[in-house]
Amino acid sequence: MKPENLNSSELILNPDGSIYHLNLLPEQLADTVITVGDPDRVGMISKYFDIVEFEIRKREFKTHTGILNGKRISVVSTGIGTDNIDIVFNELDALKNIDFKTRTVKKALTSLEIIRIGTSGAIQPEIKIDSFLVSEKAIGFDNLLHFYENSSICDDAFSEAFISATQWDKKK
């Protein structure tokens, strides 16, 4: 069976062949990606790279790709809000898993290693403001994950424990 070509409305590319919002070509993205919200944080991270191979910015989406201790890494800003994060993650996936020339999904899919560095809130009183945290899990209050059919990244037991501990209204 021949793979189906994606329409221009399903895969929006710039005239130079780069993905629309991030303005990146597939070879400009590393398999390890650090995401930050604020575009100004991209340089705060990439200044530690041994070499910065590539820099680009389009609106709130800024990317630096380089080498740190022999490992190729990209740092990408997402801007504010889950709608922007959704755009970024979909375009990152497209950069690795769609052949832009044939506009088809590749047979062999690539999983990205994504590391999120950003600000968050905490409900534990012992966690002081401006603390550094390493989290294994997070809860979004925006319902974006419910949009996706196969939401294997949701942890129902964790969500139920949060609802119980906070008396969170399930309608929210």
pLDDT at 2: 58
pLDDT at 145: 67
Closest-CA residue to 76 (of 67, 66, 86, 65): 65
Q: pTM for the full model? A: 0.82
Question: 26-128: which CATH architecture?
Answer: 3-Layer(aba) Sandwich (3.40)
Distance CA 95, CA 63 (A): 13
pLDDT at 151: 60
pLDDT at 1: 46
Return per-residue pLDDT of the chain as tens, 172 residues.
Answer: 456 899 999 999 999 999 999 999 999 999 999 999 999 999 999 999 999 999 999 999 999 999 999 999 999 999 988 889 989 999 999 999 999 999 999 999 999 999 999 887 777 889 988 888 887 777 777 767 666 666 666 777 888 888 888 888 877 7
